[in-house]
A and B are shown apart, each in its own frame.
Chain A
Amino acid sequence: MRTARNVVILLVVIGAVLFGVHALEEATEYHGGSGAAATTTVVFTVQEKQFSHGADLAATTLWETCVGTLGWSDTSDPVRQADGSYQAEVHPSLPADTRRRLRGCLEDLTLDRIRGSVTRIASS
């Protein structure tokens, strides 16, 4: 009986591990491709610390770094808005996981001394 119980426990553990690995794989895999709509618009703000080259260069550098890892046919430089945020566009639009990837790259500590924060990301 003890062996049977051990076997059952082993199976449960293996099942849990496989499920976890599959879930992680699903969450972090990059499928690529393009979305259905024409454009994805991203509005983000930039925070810097001792980055002595101005917010415009910070926003541009961050945008170019992050968007360079995706597949697109056209992208625009970030344009400074009235409230200090930056707006940029990607053509064609991005699918859901790619949008998540872009947002993660912009909000992560991708570049030293620059921290971005995405306000809005929408496809249209």
Chain B
Amino acid sequence: MRRLFVIGVGGLTLLGSGLYFFVYLYRWEWNRAVVSGLIFLAVEVALVGLVISARLTKLARAVETGAEHPARRSRIATRLHEAPAEPSAAFSWLRSSGSGSSAPVFIPILMGTGLALSGAAWLVERIGRATARNSSDPHIAARMSRLGPPPGGLLDDSTDPLRLLRHPASPR
């Protein structure tokens, strides 16, 4: 469509400039005749280039697609279409294996159980974190305070000088 429009405009221009070339010659207006002739020449060269380029494109396309050996080309194309597509290799362990054992069925069961256990463990951890109390428990402090030596030290005999004699191993 566009090509037709271009050729139409070119043809009209050629016609007009050619006609006016002779009209200006008749009127003795040389400069205008020269300009008219120049326009005619330029449009003619453009149109010739367009035609040649279109021919070249058609030729190149014919060479590419191989206008010769059409029978062979169609045979090969049929073979390529008939060949089946490669089967997908994803989830091949899910399909029933050749030996007939149905052990692979347990794989998703085990995976699901593992997932459930992980979820339970996570829940337990969350609950534990929420309910565990602070380290500043007063009972802990009381119990830990009994771990130290007695008030005067282990060798203190100020209240009872015979203490160590009577109770060598006792801390009191």
Contact = CB atoms under 8 A, between A and B. Distances in A.
A105 interface: yes
Given A24-B25, A100-B27, 17 more contacts: A24-B22, A27-B26, A28-B25, A28-B26, A28-B28, A100-B28, A101-B28, A103-B28, A104-B27, A104-B28, A104-B29, A104-B30, A105-B28, A105-B29, A107-B27, A108-B32, A109-B29
Contacts of A65: none
A101 B26 CA distance: 9
A107 B29 contact: yes
Interface in A102-124: 103-105, 107-110
Interface in A55-96: none
B22 A109 contact: no
Interface residues of B, number: 9
Contacts of B32: 108-109
Interface centre among B25, B27, B28 (most CB of A within 10 A): B28
A108 B26 contact: no
- The binding surface of chain B is classed by DSSP as helix
Interface string B29-61: 111100000000000000000000000000000
A108 B26 CA distance: 12
A108 B29 contact: yes
A28 B27 CA distance: 8
Nearest to B35: A109
Interface in B67-81: none
B95 to A, nearest CB: 77
Interface string A2-28: 000000000000000000000010011
Contacts of B26: 27-28, 100
Nearest to B27: A104
28 contacts: A24-B22, A24-B25, A27-B25, A27-B26, A28-B25, A28-B26, A28-B28, A100-B26, A100-B27, A100-B28, A101-B28, A103-B27, A103-B28, A104-B28, A104-B29, A104-B30, A105-B28, A105-B29, A107-B27, A107-B29, A108-B28, A108-B29, A108-B30, A108-B31, A108-B32, A109-B31, A109-B32, A110-B31
A110 B30 CA distance: 8
A100 B32 CA distance: 15
